[in-house]
Structure 1
Amino acid sequence: MKRFWGLTAIISMIFLLAGCGGKDGFTIFFIDNQGNPSVISEQLQANLQQKLGEEPKVEVITSAMYDVQKIMVEYAAGGHDIFILPEADMKQYGSNGSNIPLDDTFDPEKYKRGVFEGGVLVEKGEGDDGSDIKTESHLYGIPLEDMQMFKDVDYAAQNLFATIPVSASNVEESKKVLKALTE
């Protein structure tokens, strides 16, 4: 299973490095294993767009049904700037280097539940086992229960986290949007 997730991280990096994209705007992929996020997607998108202004153009993409394979496909495709998913899934992908550390933008003490040991991409061969991934403890996800915008739309589920994948088209912009979701 570890090999499977490692392969998924590598596929994600291939898509990132290949520059497959050319997408317009900013996308948030949202999946929940305890509810249906599509009931709030339009309101969330409108509230976020109002807070951010005209740029970036935000699109919230939801999955009405929880499916582990759907998450894998979305990560591998590399087309989203923020993922909102259950804690176990976020940690599983994060442990393989698929998520960006957020310590430089958010206080790890405030969001302790989003701090865990995860993979960080390093120079070729400088990882823990001679790979390109080193395990480090960082803040990788922000709990939805601590995000004001989700409280405003009555969907602050305790098991969900927002995280930024390594395939995000613009990490700084992703952090800006994530910050807007928390304020």
Structure 2
Amino acid sequence: MSFREERAAERKLNIIRTAARLFSEKGYHEATVEDIAKELKYTKGSIYYYIQSKQDLLFECHDLAMNMLMASIDKIKESGLAPDLMLKEVIKGHVEIMVGELNLINVSLASDFLLQDEYAEIIVKKRDLYEESIKKIIVEGIKQGIFKPVPEKMVIFLIMGAINWISRWFSEKGPLSKEEIAQFYADYLLAPLMLKQ
């Protein structure tokens, strides 16, 4: 990637992150492209150089969040860890992304119903792939006698529901760091799955 391409990618990322923050603070309908441009000290025209519409920008927020989660789980799958340790790392990774990218995740959780059909289809496919990766880890853990035989889909709903709820209560002023929260969730969500040795 050339310097010019890197700079363009960095500018687009700044636009997406700023949009996520303003969508999170004001709501998708209230935040305008003008607001985003003003926040970044860009012209409105320069924003439209990187995106086609506000809907396109909403999709980019969703897509960036899903790409981060997919990159995290793909790296963990390549680690060669046992299924219990792998699932623990997936939970930790998800929590750390959740806390570290709170505006982005908040927008993704609160506005999926606002995506146009063609955008929603792309995001749903990525979510399905992410959940399928988690399911394979759980199935392998059951097969190896590490996890109790459980309905995998229900376990995934439980894990996702618990982690996604963090967006409702997390505060940077809280007593725990994102790493400590991630470790707590990994330990407590994994414990009920383990077969007692």
With the length of structure 1 as denominator, give the TM-score of the two structures.
0.26
TM-score (norm 2): 0.24
Q: Which has the larger radius of gyration?
A: 2
More helix per residue? 2
| Greater fraction strand | 1
